[in-house]
């Protein structure tokens, strides 16, 4: 379920903490659907930052993730900014927007992902990364991208082994295919999902109080009837998938015009702590 990293040295600030945490990625790291754009989104990276800050107050945190971003956006924009901050902890979760886009650019994206990992490894920071869940069990169209999920997960696991990263294996966790873990669009985590992601990252880092409880499903395992599933798939296709196709056919992204919510290192917001405690 979880690949343990090689032994880490946390002597920078204490035996159990980090001082400079930077998160890079797309909508999952930004925190889409964990809160809203009016009140503010939280997300697993913010929740992990709150956990770390509770263990060792004084953490500085930046979240450079923006919804809709692809691997090339991270390597061109987010990675240089992140490295300039000299973090001692980085989370990187990127690639689903590359997986879902048709065309021949996916192979090049995987090469860029390898470069991201290599540059992070060279920085000396502790790195947490994740595989992607088994979308074929979650999405009506999941079977069409299942092969790409296996490809990118192989790259992620290989890099984690080579570089000694902390790896959270979402693909194998039973909780990751439960409906409660995902928002109505079935592509982004629900608030519960973000809580589980943060708990998984905490376990990968070996934080006090962490465990593999995040992997355990909470439902009874029963599936809806074929008729109910068929109706839900029609509704999902009509209200979410077709608009998504139309947007991308026009070269648009959900993140157009948006900027990172925490573009510079700063103390963890009291609002983030409050949201995390209320989860």
Give the distance from CA 152 to its chain's centroid. 14
Pairwise CA distance, residues 97 & 32, whole Å = 14
Distant-in-sequence contacts of 272-275, Cβ < 8 A, 24+ apart = 272/42, 272/46, 272/47, 272/49, 272/50, 273/50, 273/53, 273/54, 275/35, 275/42, 275/46, 275/47, 275/50
- pTM metric for this prediction: 0.84
Pairwise CA distance, residues 276 & 62, whole Å = 17
* Host domain of residue 41: 2-277
Pairwise CA distance, residues 72 & 4, whole Å = 28
CATH of the domain at 14: 3.40.50.1110
Q: How many CB atoms lie within 10 A of CB 36?
A: 9
Find out whether 2 and 203 touch, Cβ atoms under 8 Å: yes
The total domain count for the chain is 1
pLDDT tens-digit profile, the chain (279 residues): 444 443 332 223 335 679 999 999 999 999 887 877 655 679 999 999 999 999 999 999 999 999 999 999 999 999 999 999 999 999 999 999 999 887 779 999 999 999 999 999 999 999 999 999 988 777 766 778 899 999 999 999 999 999 999 999 999 999 998 888 987 777 788 899 999 999 999 999 999 999 999 999 876 555 656 665 565 565 656 666 556 565 656 566 665 568 999 999 999 988 888 878 766
Q: What is the pLDDT of residue 252?
A: 60
Q: What is the pLDDT of residue 6?
A: 38
Pairwise CA distance, residues 83 & 90, whole Å = 9
Beta bridge partners of 25: 93
Pairwise CA distance, residues 30 & 200, whole Å = 17
Phi/psi region, residue 95 (left: phi>0; alpha: psi -120 to 50; beta: rest), is: left
């Amino acid at each position: 379920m979880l690949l343990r990293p090689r032994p880490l040295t946390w002597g920078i600030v204490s035996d159990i903490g980090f001082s400079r945490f930077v998160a890079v990625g797309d909508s999952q790291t930004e925190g889409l659907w964990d809160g809203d754009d009016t009140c503010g989104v939280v997300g697993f990276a913010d929740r992990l930052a709150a956990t770390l800050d509770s263990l060792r107050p004084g953490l500085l945190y930046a979240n450079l993730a923006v919804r809709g971003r692809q691997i090339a956006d991270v390597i061109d924009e987010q990675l240089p900014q992140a490295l300039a901050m000299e973090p001692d902890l980085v989370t990187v979760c990127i690639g689903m927007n590359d997986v879902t886009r048709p065309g021949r650019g996916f192979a090049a994206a995987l090469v860029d992902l390898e470069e991201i990992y290599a540059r992070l490894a060279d920085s000396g920071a502790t790195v947490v990364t994740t595989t992607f869940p088994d979308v074929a069990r979650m999405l009506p169209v999941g079977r069409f991208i299942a092969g790409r999920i296996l490809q990118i997960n192989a790259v992620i696991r290989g890099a984690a082994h080579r570089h000694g990263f902390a790896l959270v294996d979402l693909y194998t966790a039973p909780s990751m295919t439960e409906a409660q873990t995902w928002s109505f669009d079935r592509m982004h985590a629900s608030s519960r999902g973000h809580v589980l992601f943060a708990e998984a990252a905490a376990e990968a880092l070996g934080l006090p109080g962490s465990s593999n409880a995040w992997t355990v499903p909470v439902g009874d395992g029963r599936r809806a009837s074929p008729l109910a599933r068929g109706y839900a798939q029609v509704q999902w296709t009509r209200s979410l998938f077709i608009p998504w196709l139309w947007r991308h056919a026009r070269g648009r992204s959900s993140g157009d015009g948006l900027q990172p919510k925490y573009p510079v290192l700063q103390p963890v917001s009291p609002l983030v702590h409050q949201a995390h405690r209320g989860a």
